[in-house]
Structure 1
Amino acid sequence: MRFDIFSPYSVIIALLIYLVLALSGTLMGIRGLRLPSWLSVLYMVLGASIFILGAYMSGRIRTEKPASPGNPRETLLVLLVTFGIILQALNLYLLGGIPLLSGYLKARAVTKIWLLSYLIFLPSINMLLAAYPRRRYCIPLILGATLFALTGYRTTVVVILLSGIITIYYSARPSPRQMGLLLSALAIVAISVGYIAVKSIEWQTWTLNPLELLLYRAGYTLMVFDRLLDHQGATAGKLLYYTLTGYLHSTDPRAIVGEAVLGYRHSTTSLIFGPPLLDFGLPAMVIQMFLLGLILGLMHRIQISLNGIFTGIYSVILAHTLIWVETGPTDLVVWLFYMVAVISIIYVLWRCYPETGGCG
């Protein structure tokens, strides 16, 4: 049996890698980065431990294999993927340019059309790759990732490609060499899109090279988290409120993080632990990390048993959670995907509940 590199515990590995990058940038003294306090380390260890506990406890919940609900028709999934791609192309057309190359256009790129396109394309392409693992379906994956990359948001294209890689890992079972090539390509794309987007911001005056920019972003996020610990509970639920309603109010929840922690309104990342601490303090972080570990753990076991669309759902939420290691859970769209995962878990648990006569 091969080692499962995309189990829920990959989130902890991603966190460790991110911290290595952050500390590397800090020790290099890039743009005045400072080392975190021991209190920050303690909070991160606690948060990671609670996540591991949640993932471990998921194994104590009965999820024997029920009868599979079947997969959506291949034609339907292809149509949904195509529709998502068309919507994103339309979004770029209406913007009148390429946001990746303009900070002004990038500020207007996340529209309601973008949101609808993302909500349709991302789960559909992963379900398609999971249920019908054919090489030709890598073409719409790459095409969609390219169109979303043109909006200038690094995390979006990384999630699309990373979730696709996770789905391919489980459905097509590529060799270690192939996985290495895929992950290397993903890293190159992520660094390139992030660097081009930053350099294209008209008012940006940074002179960092691509590697320095990567290390600086990581170190900066860690420094923000360190400062955030002095402001626990400061936003009193405001961050959660705008995470859920931000699209209606055109409010970026991460700008609230910047305002509360740094004293000025600036879109700011604060690690996966930051937002719940800023809103409600330590209890919220503990609850969040436990639930994330529990849900990912259950979905991982379910998709191993049932494959198909469940693999697609797992890939989507895991990819987003890996990105949350840096950005924090301040995205409505991701919580919507988590809601789909919870509904899937409830379905499987209901089928496996003793009163139903067992699974199957």
Structure 2
Amino acid sequence: MPATDPASDRPTVAVWRDVWLPGSETFIRDQIAAMTRWRAVRVGLQQLPEPLVPADYAPFTGASSLQKLRGEVLGTVGWERRFVNFLMEAEAEVLHAHFGPSAIRALPVAKRAGLPMVATFHGYDVTRVPRLSLGRGQEYRRRLRRLFAYADRLIAVSEFIADRLIGLGAPEDRVTVHYMGIDVRDLDASSPFPPWPERRGIVFVGRLVPKKGGLDLLEAVDRLPGDLRRTPITIIGDGPLAGELRRQADALGLSVELRGFLGSDEVAKALDRARVFCGPSRTGPDGDAEGLGMTFLEAGLHGVPVVSYAHGPLREAVDDGVTGLLAPEKDVAALSKRLETVLTDDAYAERLGRQGRAHVLEKFDIRRCTPGLERIYDEVS
């Protein structure tokens, strides 16, 4: 167990994630780093070999596949005392779990420790998982009800997710919308933009899964008139649809580069060079939907106009006609028309990009957002 910081008089929140920490979950790492009045310790069932955030405070390091399997099946059963001892040593005053399944596993620990509990819901945990077949969705919803009964605050990362939470039975008076925000890297509205005439092509960033709409992007570019069909497309991310995207791009004769998963610095460089960000997120066949769309905020921060669908929470991340253009969900022809507008109107596209950065800095700067989370900790502790 790690020693607590004796010089710190800040209250302590134990941040729970079952696995510390996949590379796609930079938003959790950045939120912890942005705390100023509360001190975070990290706790969970497993840690990855190279975690995004070093799991200094994880009682279990996931060394064996048997332990991993046991954690997935039994959660914390039989381990609660070890977790409680850790939380007492860390002098934790609140337990904050991210994602519904993790919060369900953390619930017995919070109860046994007598700690107030906060749970943040991010997307799939209120869209896809409750719809699982073979009784799994029903069991998940049953366990959610137990969580709803105990948790002091249920945080939704968007209004869209809040509505879904309430639809699942969450008490409305315990549901709070809190935008996590992003690391703005000390940029402000006056920070220089990469020269607009040097920007080229379309960039997509996201997992290569149906809800991200990668195949819709290719179809929309294929519908562009004339030479616009040859606009280069950079696809950043990986997933089960990678092969299908490659085959479709080749079949249509499009200029597509699949770059796989990249670190945040490389993604930032790609956004700085892009003419437009197109991530046509849509509701997946399994009901999965976006929680808010952090990559859309990243695009705005880098002054890239966004073209997407008016899908669920994206209307909160993108101000249609101001920071980007949104088409009706699944309307590929309309998506193509909006791409054409941004690709052919330099002045309008640059204005969308500048307004996109201003929008993110005003509403989604993590340094402005995180004090709201710390006030939630104050209220429940």
TM exceeding 0.5? no
Name the one with the larger strand percent.
2
Q: Higher relative CO (CA 8 A, sep ≥ 6), structure 1 or 2?
A: 1
Q: For this structure pair, what is the TM-score category when the shorter chain's length is used for normalisation?
A: under 0.3
TM-score by length of 2: 0.22
The structure that is helix-richer by fraction is 1
* Larger gyration radius, structure 1 or structure 2: 2
- Give the TM-score, by structure 1 length: 0.23
